[in-house]
Chains A and B, each alone.
Chain A
Amino acid sequence: DVKVTQSSRYLVKRTGEKVFLECVQDMDHENMFWYRQDPGLGLRLIYFSYDVKMKEKGDIPEGYSVSREKKERFSLILESASTNQTSMYLCASSLAGGNTEAFFGQGTRLTVV
């Protein structure tokens, strides 16, 4: 079974802190994604990576950066956390190609106070 594991289920951080959300997948998937989910807005893509060190901005990249130094790990970085980044963050991975399903992590609920 594919496993996508996010480092924390719940996280509380202070405004201005640098925050790292980690995601690891164990199925050698090329693609990895970071989404955030807010009520009434569905899943919005923050960043996408299709290979080690390769990344593309999604729909809402402002205030975020990413790192993919190894194929299995994709990190989302909030450079200076703000209260409007309070949200549920979901990591996903998939094989290359648009006709392959994505597998999701359990989500990290981040609260910025």
Chain B
Amino acid sequence: ILNVEQSPQSLHVQEGDSTNFTCSFPSSNFYALHWYRWETAKSPEALFVMTLNGDEKKKGRISATLNTKEGYSYLYIKGSQPEDSATYLCALPLDNNAGNMLTFGGGTRLMVKP
């Protein structure tokens, strides 16, 4: 079992605030890290898949960084909007062969107040 931890478990911010949360994972045998956004009543959707130490990816106001040596990734949201309210999940595959089981962290639930 892969131990993937996310913090904080939940976060309440005001519209316009910038925020960030963390995904921690074992640094040995790293293959990739996925970030997903899960809005209420919808399916989880991929934000980023990151593979290289030092990777930085951006999609609009959301960005993510990856440190595979120390085993963490940060997700940043700049100028949060109510539509950013969702649960943010990170996941790692157990191995990189054909049989790659994706293991998810517990998620960070973000609520943005107007």
- Chain A residues engaging chain B, CB cutoff 8 angstroms: 4, 30-31, 33, 35, 40-45, 48, 50-51, 54, 56, 58-59, 90, 92, 94, 96-107
Contact = CB atoms under 8 A, between A and B. Distances in A.
- Chain B interface main SS type: loop
Contacts of A102: 34, 36, 44, 46, 91, 102
Contact of B32 (A43, A44, A99, A105): A99
Chain A facing B: main interface SS = strand
- From A45, A92, A96, A107, name the one whose CB has the most chain B CB atoms within 10 angstroms: A45
B60 interface: no
Contact of A90 (B44, B94, B103): B44
Interface of B: 1, 6, 9, 31-32, 34, 36, 42-46, 49, 51, 89, 91-96, 98-107
B102 A106 contact: no
B96 A99 contact: yes
Contacts of B98: 30, 50-51, 96-97
A61 to B, nearest CB: 12
A59 B42 CA distance: 24
A98 B95 contact: yes
Given A102-B46, A104-B44, A94 B99 contact: no
Nearest to A98: B93
B66 to A, nearest CB: 12
Contacts of B92: 98
A29 B91 CA distance: 18
A60 B104 CA distance: 13
